[in-house]
Each structure stands twice: as C-alpha cells, then as structure tokens.
Amino acid sequence: MRRSTSTGPAPSRSGTPSLVYDSGEEFEQITAGAYPDDFNSDNDENDSYESRSDAKGPEPEDAEIGVIGDRTYAFICLERIGGVMVYDVSDPAAPEFIEYVNNRDFDGDPDLGTAGNLAPEGLCFVSAEDSPNGMPLLIVSHEVSGTLSVYQVNDRAAPSAA
Ligand SMILES: [Ca+2]
Ligand SMILES: [Ca+2]
Ligand SMILES: [Ca+2]
C-alpha cells in the first residue's frame, strides 16, 4: 500500500486474500482539491509543493477501523501532506469517501512549532462505549510535531451543534 487504500477479506487458513477495492489516485485527487498550492507537500517543511510526488505521494501510513452504530468506517492517515481520510467501508466493495481532515497549518513554521500537527503516524479508534465522553474518538499521533490529536467522531445523522 503506497498511495491508495485497499479492502478485502482477511486471509484465512484455507484461502488467500482477494482484493475487492482499491482507491487508486483518489487520495491525491482529494488532497489536490483541498490544498492546490501544497499538493504532495513533505511533513517537515512548508512551501514544499510536489516534493513528495516522486516518492509515495501523500504516503498512507496507518489505517484503523471503527464501528459507529450500524456503519463501519476506515480512517487512513497520510504521513506527508498530513491529515486523515475517512471512508464508510460498510460495503467493502464500494467504500464511500466521507471527509478529509487536516489540522496542519501550511502558514506556520515547523521549526518553530507553529505549523500544527505534522506527520500522522499512528491511529487509535476509541468506541463510544469505551470513550470517557460517550462519543467515538480517533486519536492520532504525529511523528514530526510530536503531538497527539483527539478527534470526536460525530454521527453523520445527528451532527453536533458545535
Ligand atoms: Ca512512512
Ligand atoms: Ca511508520
Ligand atoms: Ca513515519
């Protein structure tokens, strides 16, 4: 897995995994749309447009699955440009893109610690029943900024007032 994410049944003793979906260039289409001036930036410097285009692009780094209500979601963090892709993978053969969130600051200075959260490395989903505030959470660790982000995952059917 380099630039895209794939879904398929888990390997079993009797069989081998088979690919049922691959996101192709969708991550790069989405990040290019969100950050046309910072597409395929690196994670330790700003104004680095396209610097990762020849080397893994956004670099999907970790993936986590979370069940909320009757839906199953996949969260995929992008180590270079930053942020997290959210897909509804309740139908593994037809994942639905939900949103892309990135709390990096492209106007800040990574060396001064003013560029937000850089280089998401690991993800941890906390289900509502295990969450201290009763809402599902996604915890994201960042390798370059040395920071943690905690996102509350709101139900799409009942968005929070905030
Ligand atoms: Ca990596
Ligand atoms: Ca890693
Ligand atoms: Ca890394």
Mean pLDDT, rounded, for 63-78: 97
Alpha carbon of 79 to ligand 2 centroid (Å): 8
Q: Is the pLDDT of residue 66 over 80?
A: yes
**43 and 56 Cβ atoms separated by less than 8 Å:** no
Percent of the chain with pLDDT over 90: 84
Return all residues near 105 (Cβ < 8 A) that are at least 6 apart: 114, 115, 116
Residues 73-127 pLDDT 10s: 999 999 999 999 999 999 999 999 999 999 999 999 999 999 999 999 999 999 9
Mean pLDDT of 25-42: 97
Kindly give the distance from the C-alpha atom of residue 23 to the centroid of ligand 2, in angstroms, as a whole number.
Answer: 20
Query: Looking at residue 1, what is its pLDDT?
Result: 41
At 3 the pLDDT is 80
Confidence at 63, pLDDT banded by 50, 70, 90: very high
Find the mean pLDDT for residues 9-35: 89
Looking at residue 106, its pLDDT comes to 97
Which one of the ligands is nearest to 59 CA? 1
**Residue 138: both structure tokens together:** 């996604």
Residue 15, pLDDT > 80, answer no
- Average per-residue pLDDT for the chain: 93
Domain ranges of the chain: 21-152
pLDDT at 2 over 70: no
What is the predicted pLDDT for the residue at 6?
Answer: 87
d(CA 56, ligand 3 centre) in Å = 12
Q: Record the pTM.
A: 0.89
3-class SS of residue 96: strand
Distance from Cα 43 to the centre of ligand 3, integer Å: 10
Identify residues whose C-beta is under 5 A from ligand 1, the ion.
61, 79
Note the ligand closest to the C-alpha atom of 60. Answer: 1
Quote the pLDDT of residue 143. 98
Point out the ligand nearest to the CA of residue 122. 2
* DSSP codes of every residue in 4-34: S-EE-PPP-SS------EE-TTHHHHHHHHH
Closest alpha carbon to 101 in 118, 84, 88? 84
Distance from the alpha carbon of residue 79 to the mean position of ligand 3, in angstroms: 7
- What is the greatest pairwise CA distance in the chain? 53
